Structure 1
């Protein structure tokens, strides 16, 4: 088996359920793994310290729901407009009726669905909203929707006196959108947007309940939610957010943050499984929001992407909340033997829970008949022709609104608000009290230059990661009023190592001494200014070893802990600035940062928090976090984009930006004029200009 994981397409009962496996035989933990585990432990410890009493917990539920909605891109909630619910077909099947229908959760955002009911309905019935997992149901290039992979659940419920609405997802519905933005589509802008398809699925479910309440067959006080795998996750979101849900039985849709990040279950999940974790929650907090209503947690014992030990942990922590509320009888755990699959033993627990808590049957109640697939998917198709006004395929571009650039007239107030947003919503994972540590790692004096290498620990003494910080300055009397910090990406590191490694080989592992390159040394001596060089974590010698998939899942793992790799790179730059000025002779030095590409954007944001930076010299700077290659920061586009950050930086220092499209920076120049008040220079130059 490949070490970096395998993609399995398991055809279970003909449903085409897709299971993405975690890596097999993973490499030993490295510095990144240890940092991520430390972040998870920090979140776990913070949660363990929260021990509210019953009254405090109940009083905080509203705010907790708001926080979850925010992390799903649903705060404020989208407008509840006309659903435009439309029935496109109806058929009878073994004593039940199935309606094919669609509604719009938001204008142009279609939800295709099947509505199952008994043939004879004499009054409002208990109702189940069923969320589908990743079942790929296509034939002759027509998508029939993953709802057709779970039709046996709807049939069972209708035969046993329930109403059941089964809804398609945005990824595998009849109109195909996307769930795999960060997993395999290189859509890191989703993180910067604060977008997750989990929010789209949660909103589809909430609006599905709105639709159900328009139907006379539905008892609005007896609505349950369930679903498997991805559908289990959407059940959690809707159950936690919507108090109209009376009963829930999510199946194979939850485990701990530790499982996802430390045990690498994140490899096996698309983005629909995750909130944008700005408040740094563990997943039992989502589960506990359903308390004290009846909740059954359902899983198998051999599920590789929702490991049963993690499920036990979620159950245990959730049980503490139910116990505190005096409602432990309303919480259940059903574990069946088997893999990650839609198994009958799982269904048994789900069905029994709904019978008990929606129909009032006893714990000893029995029922006849398993859930058996019996309806051809062609009969469940909603659209013969897809609507031209659909937004499903591009909903990631509009679901979470982008912030507009502030106006010069309101700049003073806007700047304060934006700094607050950066601290609380974008870089909230940064520690409050960390003291970066710097220790000598080597020194060479050669060719009229003193080269020093330091080990920088951005998180403090004895912590990881460890980064290499180089300081080069002319031997002898040096003017240290200014030091230039070059922030290097991987390409920059290669050039730096090739330029100075042969001159100072003992400071560069594996480098052999060669004849000095005159230009390298002469330019350094001629400048008369000390030069520092830093590769932040994730770049050059500090890049994670492994495959491209490992690099992707590393970035996703940071995202799950409420940060991004790039936001920690910003912290690394801050730490380097801070520690450079702690060196003998540099206490009063001003720092010039030289950087390009994504590291230029990181440098801009680092300067906002480090007053010791008095100049930015930046090249090839992306003009938006939407650009390929731009750094991803959690939620940043809800508040600002890169030009606004550059204008904020220009309020306290000189800024020079060399860009391929200078016109994209004109609004920033206007803002910078307001910010600087004429005290600092803000230059936008063509990239070709030296």
Structure 2
């Protein structure tokens, strides 16, 4: 048995199908978002719009944690500079969860304006030479500057001892640990940003509490990931008087077009579907002053989107007669640090918050990383015996939000449980998609070892199109009373080496349909190149990761989309074989697709789950959980988790077989 040749044997070019689908969906949603923002023409309208943006962000990150009354600040050292000093300190943003920080303090009593400096994906973060220079420059102009290590970076590395399938999770300047922890947050209906924002607000609490800081003059600045944090913090904390987000502003659609990846803390689920873009986050500052720093050749944040966003922001600021408070600084360079953006950023901060005019310094000495360590061994995990990890915090959130998660549901006395769950799954996987007539195309018919083999393709969605493929294998000697949709991890690409298995399934079920949902097998998307610094991290930062996070932005997931396709494949198989009931056979990732499609479909006979992985509760709460971008989904550890679907199928008297290696068990 053979699979398909290129472009579905020449019938349809599917190389960019999934990318194109997501981009077209994003473009459609962009038009709706533009219309909603364009309708804002009064202060009353804007206040309602701003509150909608805030409430959406709070909801999609899982809420903003309560901050501790006592930060337990500990000053561990001091470094003396010319005209300033650097205090080395730690504080607790959660119980037994330490943040490491350097505070640059100008000479003199003050009170001084305060700046919270937020690092992006740099390693080391707070001691990066360019970040040091930015902090020193501001300190020499009379600012108290607090710079902190983000979760997973610097002295706050979380996964230095963890390897997932041979891939180190720590790395990528924080990108990989953020991706790994962020995936767990998604399962729990949250976002890693909730913990980063909490750290930032606690850092702002510390700045606000210092006697030498004027708490009426507080600003926040950062570049790249730090610029995104700057936006979030400015949106949610009105103590911020000015904001300087750098190399972090563009337009979401422009960013999607580049093929670049969206970091976990930046993938706010459904933000594109809600019509919330960078302009909405920036404009939420109105009428407080904001300076956007941009790089003309930024690889991640296209300059066209920068100018489009600035125009939209200024229009909204004009509602407050404050358009002049929106400043844009563009540097003729690529993605860069705050310091590299040049003197205009520092000059603007001095004008808006400072006490002196800006005069640049030519030579700014920096210190080695170890000299700026706040802990004796450069690690909070080594320094504090009871130090918790981000996994501990996520586990705590899961168990508090879903107290029954991880336990087998009790449904024996609940007659309506199975049908309610089927409706819930239908709303999740089917309701938002407009089914179309399949119009199957049979493009070859052959016989092999006594079975009939047919290659077929059809569309499960239209405008934008989704083409799916499959190989239908029928045993003329067997009645097709329970034909099976067969889902291998690599779909029809696993033929012909799986021919014997497929023939056996065809004889057992009467017919076996080896199926490729979107992005799998013969309809897999082309490889989308990763940045040159990440080319060896395919699973952590590869094509599936990119497409999965893009789907989240649209309020969907690859899991939802593929389960929908499998559901439609079941409909095709029943129609083609005139069978009343259908079965599903899934292996690995395909086992999840089989399980959830069976949970939706009516008239299901059997479900065979080969090497089904952990439940979503386990994926969210286990420290060394497998990283599967194909399973990226939002809020699935509650009553839609694997044990609940299994319980519902049992209630429906659907036979479920689970195979692990050579072992086979029947759930009923």
TM-score, normalised via structure 2 length: 0.78
Greater RCO, 1 or 2 (C-alpha within 8 Å, sep 6+): 2
Contact 2:482–2:509, Cα closer than 8 Å, also in 1: no
For residues 371-401 of structure 1, the C-alpha deviation after alignment (integer angstroms, 9 at most, x for no partner) is 7532424543322242223235756754752
CA positional deviation for 1:172: 2.7
- Return 5+ residue gaps in structure 1 as ranges: 1-26, 138-143, 501-516, 666-681, 686-690
Report the secondary structure of 1:469's partner residue.
strand
In the alignment, is residue 34 of structure 1 matched against residue 33 of structure 2?
no
2:513 to 532, 553, 563: 532
Report the secondary structure of 1:220's partner residue.
strand
Look up the match of 2:667: 684
Contact 2:425–2:600, Cα closer than 8 Å, also in 1: no
Look up the match of 1:315: 310
Report the secondary structure of 2:156's partner residue.
coil
Contact 1:147–1:173, Cα closer than 8 Å, also in 2: no
1:227-626 counterparts in 2 under 5 A?
Answer: 227-266=222-261, 271-277=264-270, 280=273, 281-342=276-337, 346-359=341-354, 366-370=357-361, 372-377=363-368, 378-385=370-377, 386-392=383-389, 394=391, 397-398=394-395, 400-401=397-398, 403=402, 404-405=404-405, 407-408=409-410, 431-435=432-436, 437-442=438-443, 444=445, 446=447, 451-460=453-462, 463-474=464-475, 482-490=482-490, 493=492, 496-498=495-497, 524=506, 527=508, 529-546=510-527, 552-562=542-552, 563-583=556-576, 585=578, 589-625=580-616, 626=619
CA positional deviation for 1:495: 5.3
For residues 265-313 of structure 1, the C-alpha deviation after alignment (integer angstroms, 9 at most, x for no partner) is 22xx754554445664443333333333221111121222223223223
CA distance in 1, matches of 2:561, 2:129: 44
Look up the match of 2:644: 644
Give the direction of change, closer, same or farther, for the CA distance of 1:196–1:657 in structure 2 (3 Å limit): same
CA positional deviation for 1:34: 1.4
CA positional deviation for 1:104: 1.1
CA distance in 2, matches of 1:433, 1:111: 47
2:92 to 104, 121, 135: 104
1:59-98 counterparts in 2 under 5 A?
Answer: 59-73=48-62, 75-98=63-86
CA distance in 2, matches of 1:186, 1:164: 28
CA distance in 2, matches of 1:305, 1:521: 48
Report the secondary structure of 2:348's partner residue.
helix
CA distance in 1, matches of 2:138, 2:473: 73
Give the direction of change, closer, same or farther, for the CA distance of 1:621–1:523 in structure 2 (3 Å limit): closer
CA positional deviation for 1:660: 4.2
Contact 1:436–1:575, Cα closer than 8 Å, also in 2: no
Contact 1:277–1:559, Cα closer than 8 Å, also in 2: no
CA distance in 1, matches of 2:505, 2:392: 52
In the alignment, is residue 656 of structure 1 matched against residue 663 of structure 2?
no
Report the secondary structure of 2:92's partner residue.
strand
CA positional deviation for 1:463: 4.2
Contact 1:146–1:169, Cα closer than 8 Å, also in 2: no
CA distance in 2, matches of 1:99, 1:576: 63
- Return 5+ residue gaps in structure 2 as ranges: 1-12, 159-169, 378-382, 530-535, 620-624
CA distance in 1, matches of 2:305, 2:488: 39
Give the direction of change, closer, same or farther, for the CA distance of 1:122–1:487 in structure 2 (3 Å limit): closer
Look up the match of 2:117: 130
Report the secondary structure of 1:174's partner residue.
helix
CA distance in 1, matches of 2:239, 2:422: 38
CA positional deviation for 1:622: 1.6
Number of aligned residue pairs: 603
1:120 to 95, 98, 108: 108
Contact 2:29–2:272, Cα closer than 8 Å, also in 1: no
2:136 to 155, 158, 183: 155
Contact 2:65–2:194, Cα closer than 8 Å, also in 1: no
Contact 1:298–1:350, Cα closer than 8 Å, also in 2: yes
CA distance in 1, matches of 2:85, 2:176: 37
Report the secondary structure of 2:154's partner residue.
coil
Give the direction of change, closer, same or farther, for the CA distance of 1:187–1:436 in structure 2 (3 Å limit): farther
RMSD: 3.9
Contact 2:127–2:372, Cα closer than 8 Å, also in 1: no
CA distance in 2, matches of 1:284, 1:82: 35
Contact 2:77–2:88, Cα closer than 8 Å, also in 1: yes
For residues 541-563 of structure 1, the C-alpha deviation after alignment (integer angstroms, 9 at most, x for no partner) is 23334477667233323313314
Report the secondary structure of 2:364's partner residue.
coil
CA positional deviation for 1:237: 1.8
Q: Is 144-153 or 643-652 further displaced after alignment?
A: 144-153
Give the direction of change, closer, same or farther, for the CA distance of 1:287–1:419 in structure 2 (3 Å limit): farther
Give the direction of change, closer, same or farther, for the CA distance of 1:595–1:83 in structure 2 (3 Å limit): same
Q: Is 98-107 or 544-553 further displaced after alignment?
A: 544-553
Contact 1:91–1:99, Cα closer than 8 Å, also in 2: yes
TM-score, normalised via structure 1 length: 0.76
Look up the match of 1:677: none
Q: Is 64-73 or 332-341 further displaced after alignment?
A: 64-73
